[in-house]
Amino acid sequence: MAIAYFVTNLGAPTASLGVLMVDPVAAPVFGFGLVAFGFLGMGPVTIAVDSYGPVTDNAQSVYELSLIEHVPDVEAEVKKEFNVDVNFSRAKHLLEENDGAGNTFKATAKPVLIGTAVVGATTMIFSIIMALTDGLRVNTEGLSLLHAPFVLGLITGGAVIYWFTGASTQAVTTGAYRAVEFIKANIRLEGVERASIEDSKKVVQICTQYAQKGMFNIFLTVFFSTLAFAFVEPFFFIGYLISIAIFGLYQAIFMANAGGAWDNAKKVVEVDLKMKGTPLHDATVVGDTVGDPFKDTSSVAMNPVIKFTTLFGLLAVELAVSLTTRNNGDTTLTHILALAFFLVSVFFLWRSFHGMRIGTQALESAPREREVVKSAAGD
């Protein structure tokens, strides 16, 4: 973006590019838009790099779930059919090493996806500013740090980003806990006997229900908070959007890298140190339970949150300004609507945390299947 700013300013009247880009404000914004377009052009490469991680992860899972090591005379059968000497220990080692490489690939690709959202959001924010200030000719004092609503918007945007990462992590944690609760109560973990298809479906059902509940609460909170902040004050909303983009960029990069580091720390203990079953391995498994929602949920979900908030906010703030103009500058109606939208967003915000808590009551030693599934459904 810095290079785009430099190149577009070469079009100033006193520079060598003459009248190619004479507007010192619009030219850099146009350059940022081209940067966003270039980022989107990297889509196929990013998708390919990001897809490598799930492929390697699923390859290891398929191997483990196949229980091929426990099939009678499987080594002799493979030797007879394919003339290959089977080495299951070597196969597991290679799959785990490849999974570690996949984690690194995913951590590399995710910041690029977030970068597309932030660069695109920057261009959209400039378009909102140009619309509100009539091309920076009026109301420019609202963009100053001395304008209190603008500063409050900067603070609010950062708070929303940290709420979002916490709420999404909470939804994953609670869903995983309910799934483990059901598995311990209904599936034998000892031995090599496979779980029944019905029990496996119940586990998938629990995970799906919690994913949908988390998505529902978080999206409606973002939706109504965007409406509320757009109706409060236009320059408050400008600060909010800028803060969402900046905080979201660095928080997403941090969570993607931290999650990959936690996951790969477990792989180092398993593959390089060969210390499975030790307290060190137990500690890295605990770290991985934090790293997975970091890198696979909160960080990647920041991409649509930033894009949706900016695009939808553009429409919302124009609606708020038009309502104020229609009422001859009276902001009473827009402020009433802002309060109503804010109260609705607070309700869903409460549901995203309090409603998704695991709970403090002690679990029964062997809860019945119906009770566990009912709890997962939120009844």
Tens-place pLDDT, residues 78-97:
888 888 888 888 888 888 88
Above 70 in pLDDT, residue 363?
A: no
- Residue 99 in any domain: the answer is no
Q: What is the pLDDT of residues 278-297, one digit of tens each?
A: 999 999 999 989 998 998 88
Distances in whole angstroms, Cα of residue 197 to Cα of each of 57, 202, 204, 266, 368: 22, 9, 11, 30, 18
- Residue 253 in any domain: the answer is yes
CB-based contact 332:189 (threshold 8 Å): no
Q: What is the pLDDT of residues 316-333, one digit of tens each?
A: 999 999 999 898 888 999
Q: What percent of the chain has pLDDT over 90?
A: 30
Least confident of 28-32, 260-264, 341-345: 28-32
- Say how far apart CA 368 and CA 379 lie, in whole Å: 15
At residue 224 the predicted structure's pLDDT band, cuts being 50, 70 and 90, is: very high
Average pLDDT of every residue of the chain: 84
Q: Write the secondary structure of 264-333 as one string of H (helix), E (strand) and C (coil).
A: HHHHHHHHHCCCCCCHHHHHHHHHHHHHHHHHHHHHHHHHHHHHHHHHHHHHHHHHHHHHHHHCCCCCHH
Tell me the mean pLDDT in the region 43-65: 85
Above 90 in pLDDT, residue 360?
A: no
- Residue 100 in any domain: the answer is no
- Say how far apart CA 255 and CA 263 lie, in whole Å: 12
Question: Nearest to residue 87, comparing CAs of 105, 68, 104?
Answer: 68
Tell me the mean pLDDT in the region 126-150: 86
Q: Which domain holds residue 185?
A: 66-92+142-376
Question: Nearest to residue 160, comparing CAs of 46, 369, 313?
Answer: 313
- Residue 107 in any domain: the answer is no
Q: What percent of the chain has pLDDT over 70?
A: 88
Above 90 in pLDDT, residue 231?
A: yes
How many domains in the chain? 1
Above 80 in pLDDT, residue 352?
A: yes
Q: Is the dihedral of CA 205, 180, 360, 354 positive or negative?
A: negative
For residue 148, the model assigns a pLDDT of 93
For residue 154, the model assigns a pLDDT of 94
- Residue 73 in any domain: the answer is yes
Where do we find the tokens 């894009």?
A: 307
At residue 369 the predicted structure's pLDDT band, cuts being 50, 70 and 90, is: very low
Range among 52-61, 94-103, 154-163, 195-204 with highest mean pLDDT value: 154-163
For residue 153, the model assigns a pLDDT of 95
Tell me the mean pLDDT in the region 266-289: 90
For residue 109, the model assigns a pLDDT of 82
- Residue 137 in any domain: the answer is no
24: three-class secondary structure by DSSP:
coil
Above 70 in pLDDT, residue 44?
A: yes
Tell me the mean pLDDT in the region 235-239: 94
Nearby residues of 348 by Cβ (< 8 Å), 6 or more positions away: 217, 218, 220, 221, 224
- Residue 31 in any domain: the answer is no
CB-based contact 115:37 (threshold 8 Å): no
- Residue 237 in any domain: the answer is yes
Phi-psi map region of 230: left, alpha, beta (phi>0 left; psi -120 to 50 alpha): alpha
For residue 379, the model assigns a pLDDT of 46
For residue 139, the model assigns a pLDDT of 85
Least confident of 14-23, 119-128, 137-146: 14-23
CA angle 182–183–186, rounded 5-degree value: 80
Q: SS3 helix, strand, coil % of the chain, rounded to 5?
A: 80, 0, 20
At residue 24 the predicted structure's pLDDT band, cuts being 50, 70 and 90, is: low
Above 60 in pLDDT, residue 207?
A: yes
